[in-house]
Each structure stands twice: as C-alpha cells, then as structure tokens.
Amino acid sequence: MDEYSTGFCIRATGRGGTGSKCGRWNPTGEQVKVLTELFRSGLRTPTTDQIQKISAELSFYGKIESKNVFYWFQNHKARERQKRRRILVDDLHTTTTTSSKQFGSGEKNEAERVIETLQLFPVKSRLYADDCKENTYNLGMEMDHPTLDLRLSFV
C-alpha cells in the first residue's frame, strides 16, 4: 500500500510506451503526493469547489479531471477504513510476533489447536459500532482557498 507506492509509480516506462491507451487516469507521482498530503491534512470529502481547485492545481503535473480527484478521495477514504478494519481484526490472531520472519524455535504448539470447525456463518456479529468520530476535518478548510497551497506553490 502506502509503503510500497512510494517510489515507483509513474509507469512512464511501463508497457504503455507507445500507445498508452490511457483509458483511465494514471496519476503522476507529484499528483499522488499532493493528494496524499491533502488527505493527511484532514481533508476527506472535498466539496465541489475544492475538487475543482485541486484538479486545476494538479493539472500542472499532468492530465487530470475533477472526477479523478473526486474518486481519489472516495477511494482513499474507503480503503483506509477497510484496511484498518481488517488489520485490526487479524491482528488478534497474530499474537505471536509481528515479524514472523523466523519462528523456528517458538513455533509449534500454537498450531496445535485444531481449528476444524469452520463455521463461517455465525451470528452476524457487529463488527464495529458505527462510526468513529473522525469528523475532525472542517475547520477552515472547507471553503475558499486556504489549505490548498501546501508547499507546492509551483506557480
């Protein structure tokens, strides 16, 4: 995920090479960087105005449309939650060591607990009590032109 996409995106040299159908938007490293930064700044669901502004700014780095920005935020937010949910739960089972790199010695009985009863349809347990605040955005960023300058003031 994030840890991966730090340095290679930009498939400029990808197989696209010549044709590059470009059926879909392919963000450049800079664009991703800015978007990520905005996200980290607290922006989760930009308004139409913000979207257009962001889009306009990012167009400097390459072709981009407003809807791309819109989708980007939608996806980023959704995936963040999804990931958190998953990791959270599967963490419970990985009690041994975070880095199961080498468990040559300790590893053994843990696996003894035969988990044969694979029952996937339990009682529809509630995973997470809806919502977790995270409404910390807003403040002064949802409007005009504030937070958008970042340090990228290219122009």
Partner DNA sequence: CGTGTATGAATGAACG
Partner DNA sequence: CGTTCATTCATACACG
Stretch that binds DNA, among 52-60, 69-77, 89-97, 110-118 (CB under 7 A): 69-77
Q: Does 78 bind a copy of itself (CB under 8 A)?
A: no
Give the DSSP letter of residue 111: G
Q: Which of 76, 7, 63 is nearest to 35 (CA)?
A: 76
Q: Which of 23, 54, 59 is nearest to 39 (CA)?
A: 54
Rounded Cα distance, 31 and 5, in Å = 13
The one of DNA, a copy of itself, none whose footprint includes residue 84, by CB under 5 to 8 A per kind, is none
Rounded Cα distance, 56 and 100, in Å = 46
Size of the site for DNA (CB under 7 A): 42
Catalog residues that contact DNA under the rule CB under 7 A.
1-2, 4-5, 8-9, 11, 14-16, 20-21, 23-27, 32, 44-45, 47-48, 67-68, 71-72, 74-79, 81-82, 103, 131, 137, 141, 143, 145, 147-148
